[in-house]
A and B are shown apart, each in its own frame.
Chain A
Amino acid sequence: GAVVSQHPSRVICKSGTSVKIECRSLDFQATTMFWYRQFPKQSLMLMATSNEGSKATYEQGVEKDKFLINHASLTLSTLTVTSAHPEDSSFYICSARNPTSGGYEQYFGPGTRLTVT
């Protein structure tokens, strides 16, 4: 298996402010991490693929200037929601694949619940 952590687990911010969410792989090095968003009672939506040392790849319809992703090391990726608005309130989840496992299993962090007031 693999352990992925996220911080914070829950954050409330005011409209117009920015929020940074951290995703860490604790027991393996992740060259690639993934950021998902999930609205209540809806399915997971892949936002972007975070690549260590290079630019993130964003899914269609996801604003790259609003959701800034930085993957500066093999164990840390960050997602910054800039100028957050109430419609950005959601459950943000990161995941990573352990490249040494030989498989394609994704391991998810515990998620960050963002509420924008």
Chain B
Amino acid sequence: QKEVEQNSGPLSVPEGAIASLNCTYSDRVSQSFFWYRQYSGKSPELIMSIYSNGDKEDGRFTAQLNKASQYVSLLIRDSQPSDSATYLCAVNVGGSYIPTFGRGTSLIVHP
């Protein structure tokens, strides 16, 4: 089992809808979780970090963490075509300060 897993997609949603991106991880002792956005041909950009169970909201983005079920998700409300990108989940596996990245989920928001 891979340490950090994401569905590669593409996930296609209409403009204005909620996009839901999911990530599962294998190591129960992981404590730090991140979502990055990567536009084609560009480097990753940090969107959210979450360390505690529950929800964390920042603008149109909400990260949800469930350590018992070992998943972290990212919700994007009122999706815009400009949100179309690959979203990378990263987890500090085993307490390491070096994150392990998932392969990313491609999101397409169509007008």
Contacts and interface: CB of A to CB of B under 8 A. Distances in A.
B43 A104 contact: no
Interface size class of A (residues with CB under 8 A): 10 to 19
B92 interface: yes
Given A43-B101, A43-B103, A44-B101, A105 B45 contact: no
Interface of A: 1, 32, 34, 43-44, 46, 49, 91, 93, 97, 103-111
Interface residues of B, number: 21
A103 B49 contact: yes
B43 A109 contact: yes
B72 to A, nearest CB: 14
B103 A104 contact: no
B43 A43 contact: no
Contacts of B42: 110-111
A96 B41 CA distance: 20
Contact of B98 (A1, A34, A110): A34
A106 B99 contact: yes
B46 interface: yes
